Amino acid sequence: MIYTVNEHFYTFQGEGDHMGRASYFIRLQGCDQACVWCDAASTWHKDWKPSNLWKGTAEEVADLVGDAGRVVITGGEPCLYDLDTLIGALKREVAVETAGHKPLPVVDCWITLSPKPDGIHPLTESVMRADEFKIIVSDADTLQRGLDCIEARDPNSSVWLHPEWSKRDDASVIRLIVDTVKEMGDPFRAGWQVHKNYMADLMDKNSRKEYVPLGGTDGDPY
């Protein structure tokens, strides 16, 4: 299989259970959903598709990583690709960030599942296997529908609640997350995209610096 890479860069994991860990990100091109709050709309939006997409085999993708000890495969939707072959070529710790609506890789890897309640819901078997969850919260309705998508989860797996980025300064959304975490207790956790505060991704020369608005429409930038 040939893998189309939107961008690849060395940074740290800004979210979830592995927050703060040095990680090499491989962002694969393509997604069959179109979330209005997507912060990687250049992977699917026709008006924001990059003109210089890199393509290569699993072995060539692995060569991009260099000496990094941990890799995160993200998108877009990375499970549109044969990830078993790619993970095998990487030969190191790998995490996959997915919406869970496509079959997960068979080989061992860390799975972060972020359900898309307005789009294609995750497969039950993907929910059961996932190591952690990330729900994007813009109001009480999106929170509840996100939770409904992951009812089959392991009750011990972390459930991170992230404010939808354009609403990160909305006091009602922040209060909703705080109240939910306090009410539900473990394993519910308040999340944040701390790599954006550090601008860590942009410090790598390979990351894309072009302006891409949330969802590929007018609004907050990537």
Taking the C-alpha atoms of residue 183 and residue 175, their distance in angstroms, rounded to an integer, is 12
- Would you say residue 184 lies in a domain? no
112, 159, 173, 184 from 148: Cα distances, Å: 17, 12, 19, 15
Whether the pLDDT of residue 220 is over 90: the answer is: no
* pTM tops 0.75: yes
- Would you say residue 30 lies in a domain? yes
| Total domains present in the chain | 1
pLDDT band at 218 (very low <50, low <70, confident <90, very high): confident
- Would you say residue 29 lies in a domain? yes
The residue segments making up the domain with residue 57 are 3-132+195-216
- Would you say residue 181 lies in a domain? no
The identity of residue 23, as a single letter, is S
- Would you say residue 140 lies in a domain? no
**Which CATH number characterizes residue 53's domain?**
3.20.20.70
Q: Compute the mean pLDDT over every residue in the chain, rounded to the nearest whole number.
A: 96
At residue 222, the pLDDT reads: 55
User: Could you say which DSSP state residue 41 is in?
Assistant: G
Whether the pLDDT of residue 169 is over 90: the answer is: yes
For 69-81, what is each residue's pLDDT tens digit? 999 999 999 999 9
- Would you say residue 37 lies in a domain? yes
For 89-141, what is each residue's pLDDT tens digit? 999 999 999 999 999 999 999 999 999 999 999 999 999 999 999 999 999 99
- Would you say residue 188 lies in a domain? no
